[in-house]
Structure 1
């Protein structure tokens, strides 16, 4: 079980781990089953209304789930399918792409590596679909001024 992010660095300063498997499991789900995630609260529904409108409440519920990391991965899979399915020729639904980027912003800093990696894969898919003829260097030149 691989770990990424801040928790991995912090663990180096705590001394030897007595049960690394238990530590990894504690980061996410006490049981690794894919039981239903907790429903969204009314506040979460209000805060995430653009995402819910774009992808549906069930996908956003999975995206925000802390019950099992596989929920978040499944949500990213669904989001990728929705966005790539909406791209036809030169027509792009900018709102869907924008909401997909918002979803990546939510999941990229996840403590579970698999979720962060899946987020990066979604970014790569978006770039490949939106800029199929551009070289990676040209894409980077477009992104750099925005990130500065």
Structure 2
């Protein structure tokens, strides 16, 4: 994925300063910061763009997104085997029951997957690209679980552009 250092350079001094201040503040002192929100939006969009470029450039069935792909997929299959990965709905991911199940799943990977809980854009319809209508914000490890499963089930192969 895109280098973190590169993203920081694009934020500039003011953006980095805003992020640093927000991270070092007490939760009760936290207020929405336009620079922080802009920085987050830039980083998540760059991650989504990079992900889709990977799908277009490589055979998704052989693509590894993390060193923990096997464990992420195995646990996903145990807990969410019946999830319709072709076309997800917000309720599949955000209903009270889903949030409870996903929270347990995601928290298992704390300390095992870098930025496991970082907000990440996920495509709802596997056949489409990242658009405002086709994305939902999820924790990074939830994105990874779904996209690894889609890759292994050959659902993302349609995006591979052969030369």
What is the TM-score of this pair, normalised by structure 1? 0.29
Higher share of residues assigned helix: 1
What is the TM-score of this pair, normalised by structure 2? 0.27
Which protein, 1 or 2, shows the higher relative CO under an 8 Å CA cutoff with sep ≥ 6? Answer: 2
Higher share of residues assigned strand: 2
Larger Rg: 1
